[in-house]
Structure 1
Amino acid sequence: MYGREDLVEEMTRDDCWRRLRRTHLGRLAMGHGPGIEIFPINYTADGQTVYLATSVGTKTAMVGVSPWVAFEIDGADDGWTWSVVVKGPLRRLVRSADLEVAGELGLRSAAPGVKDQLMSIDATSVTGRRFRSAL
């Protein structure tokens, strides 16, 4: 079997971004004080930024109160279960250059309704871990 040191691996930043670019559903954690919320959300990513599409509501309102968020994706492959966490400020995209980049990346939402509010997380921290798994 495996020794204890073989059970958990820290992922490189490049490996984290590779996984972020090929996965498109994650969880966004945001809030202030005890009012922290976690939202499942579709996203797309490029080299240093995670892009989200949403509608006007809780997420867009909370950005003005506390823009710092955590975003997490996870999965399993090749005998490993893994998790990637991105932290940084969430901002609404209003500049045409930002909107164009998000559009070129093919940002789509699986949730019903109009998702006309484009947002991004400018990653200040990206970490990932892999665990040996029987999955």
Structure 2
Amino acid sequence: MLRELDKNQIETLLKDQLIGRLGCHSAGVTYIVPVNYVYDGTSIYCHSAKGMKIDMMRQNPEVCFEVDKIKDMTDWQSVIAWGKFEEITEMAEQQKVLQQLTDRITPYIIDDSVTREHGFVDNESDIGTTVELIMYKIVVNKKTGRFEAR
């Protein structure tokens, strides 16, 4: 049976998952892409190289974010959050966000194939030397969640 997640369940799902899907829309085009992220209860923090999603969010900062946890077709949870893209330009905040993302993702790295393009480097001074990393946040203004359980 399909039901609604309560506020605590929504917050837990957003904080516990590693990958979400970011939806943006600009100039008549809708684009959805998976991203790794960190959620602090107010904003969703991500990083990216310059590309289509960054260009689109700069043009239209209103975005949608979806995360789910699926055990099977009748046992799943899903949250959709709406918010506004804000680019992080202050260096100290950029480094803080990158460190949070690194700490969050590192336990899931299974080999050394992760490259600088993912923002993982040996020294802080190496950040951005190969690819310009853009740090950003989605300031969440609305959330909803659904689940189905046997």
TM over 0.5: yes
Any unmatched runs of 5+ in structure 2?
A: 120-132
Aligned mates of 1:8, 1:67 — CA distance in 2: 31
Structure 2 residue aligned with 1:80: 75
Residues 69-124 of structure 1, C-alpha deviation per residue, up to 9 Å, x if partnerless? 00101113597311101101011111345325424523459875255111100000
Question: Compared with structure 1, are the counterparts of its residues 15 and 98 closer, same or farther at alpha carbon in structure 2 (3 Å cutoff)?
Answer: farther
2:10 is matched with which residue: 6, 16, 22?
16
2:143 is matched with which residue: 121, 126, 130?
126
How much has 1:131 moved relative to structure 2?
1.0
Aligned mates of 2:54, 2:86 — CA distance in 1: 9
Paired letter, 1:69: V
Paired letter, 1:129: R
How much has 1:49 moved relative to structure 2?
0.8
The 8 Å contact of residues 81 and 131 in structure 1, kept in 2 or not, is answered as: yes
Structural RMSD (CA): 2.5
SS at match of 2:28: coil
| Aligned residues with identical type, % of pairs | 23
Aligned mates of 2:2, 2:65 — CA distance in 1: 21
Paired letter, 1:132: A
Aligned mates of 2:149, 2:93 — CA distance in 1: 38
Whichever structure has more helix as a proportion of its residues is 2
The two structures have a TM-score, normalised by structure 1, of: 0.80
How many residue pairs align between the two structures?
127
Any unmatched runs of 5+ in structure 1?
A: 1-6
SS at match of 1:47: coil
Paired letter, 1:45: Y
Structure 1's consecutive aligned runs of 4 or more residues displaced over 4 angstroms after TM superposition are: 107-112
The 8 Å contact of residues 81 and 140 in structure 2, kept in 1 or not, is answered as: yes
Residues 1-20 of structure 1, C-alpha deviation per residue, up to 9 Å, x if partnerless? xxxxxx12211222111111
The two structures have a TM-score, normalised by structure 2, of: 0.73
1:1-135 map, 5 Å: 7-32=1-26, 34-77=28-71, 80-96=75-91, 98-107=93-102, 108=105, 113-115=117-119, 116-133=133-150
